[in-house]
Structure 1
Amino acid sequence: MPHPQSTLMAFGDGRQKLRIGLLLLDNFTLNALSGFIDALRLAADTGGRSRQIDCGWVIMGKGMVRASCGLAISPDSEPLPPARFDYLAVVGGNDYAERVQPAWVTAYLQETAAAGIPLIGLCTGTFNIARAGLMQGVTACLHWNVHQEFAAQFPKVRAISDRIFLDTGNRITCAGSTGAPDLALHLIDRHCGPERAQQSLRHMVLNDQREASYPQAQFSPEARDIHDDLVRRAVVIMEQTLNDPISIDRLATRLGISGRQMARRFAASLDQTPSQYYRFLRIRYGAWRLIHSTDLISDIAADSGFCDASHFQREFRGHYGVSPAKYRKGAIASA
């Protein structure tokens, strides 16, 4: 592992075609950071030797920070002058629900934006960029699990969760997790060429680089084959609200169409009404929970958006032909 001082000396020494500063915040998600930075590392040198030749990166912060998994990391440096890199990536994490952030984070992001350096929101780093007032008029790509919280905190910022990342020029937002390496490869391809991106792919034992529009993994596999973008977005919202279902009228309003229009488009794409498909998702989620947890059926019913266990059992029996208890017992017996 290079010493922090040697990392700083290598970073921005004039050789690199791509230079990225990573601002690490408390409770950051390790998967997003490691996937992003490893794609850079494997493209930067030959043979996986990790020298910052074609790509340069530096991890910045104010003292030691911890990942959401508990791992402690000491940054290479305090925040550097923005002119030293081509992009600033903000690596957020489990503190996204906090509605305030340190003043120095806001000031540094605003300084970087004013210098014309594109800002990258990795995972929930987009929340921090938005808190600095730097997402006005820009669409943000969020992980489906934090979409509702982002919409509640920043109602004037359009948010989407039907792709893994979105590059709008001065703002690049990424759902995080396994989408982070794809974003890094996107930047490597742009600045260092497709050969370097392919080199990184080979080292990571990956077959292909996913495009920005690649859909986020969904609980419902058939949703990946939906060609109607509006129906696909409706299904994403349904999956985000399985435990607390919203009305179909409210869903249609969020999508900017009438309930009747949405019903027609669901019928054309899925041969079901929105309500039928929503209920199907909730029942199937309940079935998954029965097999993959030891939770009480009443708790699974509540988490699947049913008013009580009796309602869940009626709907479940109607779909699967057996009670939830028998379904669980049969799955255990056949395992």
Structure 2
Amino acid sequence: MKRPETSLDAFHEGRQKLRVGILVLDNFTLNAFSGFIDALRLAADTGGRSRQIECGWVIMGHGPVRASCGLSITPDAEPMDPGRFDYIAVAGGNDYPQRAQPAWLTRYLQQADAAGVRLVGLCTGTFNIARAGLMEGRTACVHWNVHDEFRSQFPNVRALSDRIFFDAGDRITCAGSTGAPDLALHLIGRHCGPERAQQSLRHMVLSNQRDASFPQAQFAEETRSLRDSVVRRAILIMEQTLDAPISLEDLASRLGISPRHLSRRFTESLGQSPSRYYRFLRVRYGAWRLVHSTERVSEVATEAGFSDASHFLREFKQVYGTTPARYRKALDGARRGAPGGGQGGGGSAPAGGPGSGR
């Protein structure tokens, strides 16, 4: 029986226009890893046949690794000479809180940097590049959910969470998840031309390629137009602590300003206090969970950071003008009565705003 071709076999066949070595680490996030590779695969050949003609890639590591979802894969090769690649990408995952990493990984990334090979952090792979001492004094794009942890571990690296990826030339960092294919398309367009990027886009059934500055999807969509970076950062922290709200004093302390200064900037930017906006975010998150889960109202209240269901009920009625139970029932009925009903209510948060009555 013929042995199946691996990415390593195909990689050796020729000099592709774009060549990427992908280091996959244990507990990696599958979405970012597979989305990045699939964008390369669909641009590399015609008709989705997956031959490494225009693009080449090798999945590298030391032995089998398991994704955070439980899927196991075996890399095609141990880390190869980095000089054979245009980019070395690190596919990280849920082990980012650990403040140590294998010595071989640090040595390899430093070797790649010394050889002038550009480094790519996919999802929390940016943590690994930073642990190798290769992000000092630089800027990194990270997922909003790990922003605080990254800043805690790497205080000398500027962290951005208001975009899907950031290309600084020799360092390209990506928030991960669905932003990884956009990063791959960015590289494909650079090395193989826009036609190849468009080919990959069509095969993935996507309507367009998102630019690096496209904002990360969050519940607080209104922050996209805010000019005050301190207020944007405050809202980011609020979103990370919806289920366990922190005090105004703690929030201001994490931002390095006084509570009074923070309140003034919130009022100037959003016309309301931080506390009121914080409550609104939690109510809106609760409304989203009412639509997208079968949890009891009391459980939703806890998830949204309210001490009890009655508190949640009072705040909910102020924003939406109805009770949580009636709100859920009305939207359930609307979905059942709509064409194609029962398929779910999309992924966006319910509409409404502080004092909107919706």
Q: Taking structure 2 as the reference length, what is the TM-score of the superposition?
A: 0.83
Contact 2:36–2:181 under 8 Å retained in 1: yes
Q: What SS does structure 1 have at the residue aligned with 2:80?
A: coil
Name the aligned partner's letter for residue 77 of structure 1: A
Q: Distance in 2 between matches of 1:256 and 1:85?
A: 42
Q: Distance in 2 between matches of 1:222 and 1:286?
A: 18
Q: Which moved more, 1:201-210 or 1:253-262?
A: 253-262
Which residue does the alignment assign to 1:281? 281
CA 1:101–1:138: 2 relative to 1, 3 Å: same
CA 1:52–1:316: 2 relative to 1, 3 Å: same
Contact 2:24–2:91 under 8 Å retained in 1: yes
Which residue does the alignment assign to 2:348? none
CA 1:8–1:297: 2 relative to 1, 3 Å: same
Name the aligned partner's letter for residue 133 of structure 1: G
Contact 1:162–1:233 under 8 Å retained in 2: no
Contact 2:6–2:76 under 8 Å retained in 1: no
Which residue does the alignment assign to 1:25? 25
- TM-superposed CA distance for 1:185, in Å, is 0.9
Q: Distance in 2 between matches of 1:286 and 1:7?
A: 45
Sequence identity, in percent? Answer: 70
CA 1:311–1:110: 2 relative to 1, 3 Å: same
Q: Distance in 1 between matches of 2:7 and 2:278?
A: 51
Q: Deviations over 1:88-118 (max 9, x none)?
A: 1000112222232222222222222222212
Which residue does the alignment assign to 2:160? 160
Q: Taking structure 1 as the reference length, what is the TM-score of the superposition?
A: 0.88
Q: Distance in 1 between matches of 2:258 and 2:112?
A: 42
Equivalent positions of 1:177-192 (< 5 A) are: 177-192=177-192
Contact 2:32–2:176 under 8 Å retained in 1: yes
- TM-superposed CA distance for 1:303, in Å, is 2.5
- TM-superposed CA distance for 1:7, in Å, is 3.1
Equivalent positions of 1:1-335 (< 5 A) are: 7-11=7-11, 15-226=15-226, 228-252=228-252, 254-255=254-255, 259=259, 262-332=262-332
Q: Distance in 2 between matches of 1:3 and 1:174?
A: 35
Q: Distance in 2 between matches of 1:144 and 1:40?
A: 26
- TM-superposed CA distance for 1:318, in Å, is 2.9
Q: Deviations over 1:105-144 (max 9, x none)?
A: 2222222222221211101111222222222112221111
Name the aligned partner's letter for residue 46 of structure 2: T
CA 1:6–1:298: 2 relative to 1, 3 Å: closer
Q: What SS does structure 2 have at the residue aligned with 1:83?
A: helix
Q: Distance in 2 between matches of 1:86 and 1:231?
A: 39
- TM-superposed CA distance for 1:189, in Å, is 1.4
Name the aligned partner's letter for residue 216 of structure 1: Q
- Note the residue ranges of structure 1 that are not aligned, 5 or more in a row: none
Contact 1:162–1:236 under 8 Å retained in 2: no
CA 1:315–1:185: 2 relative to 1, 3 Å: same
Root-mean-square deviation (Å): 2.6
Name the aligned partner's letter for residue 159 of structure 1: A
Q: Distance in 2 between matches of 1:3 and 1:43?
A: 25
Name the aligned partner's letter for residue 188 of structure 2: I
Q: What SS does structure 1 have at the residue aligned with 2:19?
A: strand
